[in-house]
Amino acid sequence: MSVEVGSKVKGKVSGIKNFGAFIELPERKTGLVHISEVADQYVDDINEHLTVGEEVEVKVLSIGDDGKISLSIKKAKAPAPKPKPKKEPTPEDFEKKLAGFLKDSEERISTIKKQTESRRGGRGGKR
């Protein structure tokens, strides 16, 4: 398989530096995966994600005029499924939430009043 921009190829990690990893590609070529292209999340230590000799699939991002090959591991992976869009709230949903809130509030106020009255001797503060 030839190394062309946009293609996905398998390679072997041949070296790791703090800024990225060198990947040995087919046709005796070597490319660099920058640390920002290793994983979807922030990578502080590349050694936590890759080891020398590990086989990885990479996507060829660019090939410079000087022959430098820029690679990405995270772009070689299939895109994560998109989350389902949330249902837009309707006026009925709002009314249900409001009714539930009012019921809950009334129950809490009622409980507080009962506790207060019991502390005053059950007369409810009427004199």
Closest by CA to 30, choosing from 38, 40, 22, 18, is 22
Residue 93's pLDDT band, with cuts at 50, 70 and 90, is confident
Give the pLDDT confidence score for residue 86 in this predicted structure. Answer: 77
| Residue with the larger pLDDT of the pair 95 and 126 | 95
pTM score of the predicted model: 0.60
Helix (H) or strand (E) holding 9: strand 8-17
Q: What is the mean pLDDT of residues 43-70?
A: 93
Contact between residue 56 and residue 23 where contact means Cβ atoms under 8 Å apart: yes
Give the pLDDT confidence score for residue 122 in this predicted structure. Answer: 56
| Residue with the larger pLDDT of the pair 85 and 5 | 5
Q: What is the pLDDT of residues 65-91, one digit of tens each?
A: 998 999 999 998 877 677 777 777 788
Say how far apart CA 10 and CA 54 lie, in whole Å: 10
Give the pLDDT confidence score for residue 24 in this predicted structure. Answer: 95
Say how far apart CA 98 and CA 25 lie, in whole Å: 61
Contact between residue 11 and residue 58 where contact means Cβ atoms under 8 Å apart: yes
State the CB neighbour count (10 A cutoff) for residue 13. 20
pLDDT over 80 at 125, yes or no: no
Q: What is the mean pLDDT of residues 29-37?
A: 94
Does 2.40.50.140 match the CATH number of domain 8-72? Answer: yes
Give the pLDDT confidence score for residue 1 in this predicted structure. Answer: 56
| Residue with the larger pLDDT of the pair 43 and 88 | 43
